[in-house]
Amino acid sequence: MTAISNRYDFVYLFDVTNGNPNGDPDAGNLPRLDPETNQGLVTDVSLKRKVRNFVDMVAGSTPGHEIYMRERSYLNEQHERAYKALDIKSEPKKLPKKEEEARAVTAWMCANFFDIRTFGAVMTTETNTGQVRGPVQLTFATSIDPIMPLEISITRMAATKEEPGKNDIRTMGRKHIVPYGLYRAHGFISAHLAGRTGFSDDDLALFWAALQNMFDHDRSAARGEMTARELVVFRHDSAIGNAPAHRLFKRVTVTRATPDETRPPRSFDDYRVEVDTDGLPEGITVERMI
C-alpha cells in the first residue's frame, strides 16, 4: 500500500449522557476533570483504545490489520514473530547489528499491525523491534462546559459467600456518572510520518470509520450513551501542510443554542456547531463527515 500524501487536521466532538466517559483510577474511578475549571477530560489513550477495538472487530482477521496493543497480550511474543518471519536471530534488548535487518523487523511490525502503523509504538522491550513514531496523534478531549459528576448509590442483591447469622445479604456500592457532557478533541495526521510507517489511504478510511462508529460498539453499564457528533476534517493539498492547525481549529466553534446559559446543557441540541469556510487558506479543503 502507498502511504498517504496529504496532511490532515481534524476536530472531533462526542458526548455522553448519564455515563462515565473515562474514569480516573487515581480518584476512585471518578470521571476525569480539570480541577481548576471543572471541565471534563477524556485521555487520548482512551480514544485510541476504542479505535483499536473497532478496527479489530471489523478488520482484525485480514492481513495487515492485527492489533498490537491487545488486551491480555504479551508484547515480546509479538516481537518474536517478526524475527521468526524474517529468519533473524534476536538478542536480549538489542536490535540486530546490521542496519538493514534492524529496519526490516521494525517494518514487519508496521506492516502487520494497524495500530503501530497508525499511532506508533515503543517496542524496545526484552525482544527489541525498535521504536515507531505514528502519523496519527490525538489530544485529550475537553468538555465544552464544566461537568458535575454525580455519585449514585447502588444495591447488590446477591452475596459472594454465605455468612452464618447474616440475614440481609445486600451490599451497597457506588456508581459515578456525568449527567451530560459534550467533549472536543483535536487530531493531526502527518503525511511525512505516514511515509515511514506505510499508513495508507485505506488505513485512513478505516480510521475515519472508527471515529464515526466506535461508540456504537463500546456500550457498557458505564457508557450506555456515548455518541460521535461531529468530525470536521481539514485536508491539506500538500504533505507539509498549507496552514497552521491552530488557525484551522478556530474555524470550528461550539456555542450554546439558547440564550439561557444558566440552565446546564442536557443534550446535543443545546449546542450549535458552526464551521467557518469563508476565506479558507489556499490549498485547504474542509469536510464534515458526521
The 10s digit of each residue's pLDDT in 99-142 is 999 999 999 999 999 999 999 999 999 999 999 999 999 999 99
Q: Enter the pTM of the model.
A: 0.94
Angle at 229 between CA 226 and CA 231, to 5 degrees: 125
First to last CA, the chain: 27
pLDDT score recorded for residue 181: 97
Closest CA to 42 of 50, 52, 31: 31
**Single-letter amino acid code for the residue at 118:** T
**pLDDT < 50: residue spans in the chain:** none
pLDDT score recorded for residue 62: 96
Q: Alpha-carbon distance 27 to 143, whole Å?
A: 19
Q: What is the number of helices (H) and of strands (E) in the chain? A: 7, 14
Tens digits of residue pLDDT in 202-241: 999 999 999 999 999 999 988 889 999 999 999 999 999 9
Q: Alpha-carbon distance 34 to 264, whole Å?
A: 18
pLDDT score recorded for residue 159: 73
Q: Any idea where the domains of the chain sit in the sequence?
A: 8-151+175-288
Report how far apart, in Å, the C-alpha atoms of 85 and of each of 69, 72, 79, 81, 203 are: 20, 23, 10, 6, 23
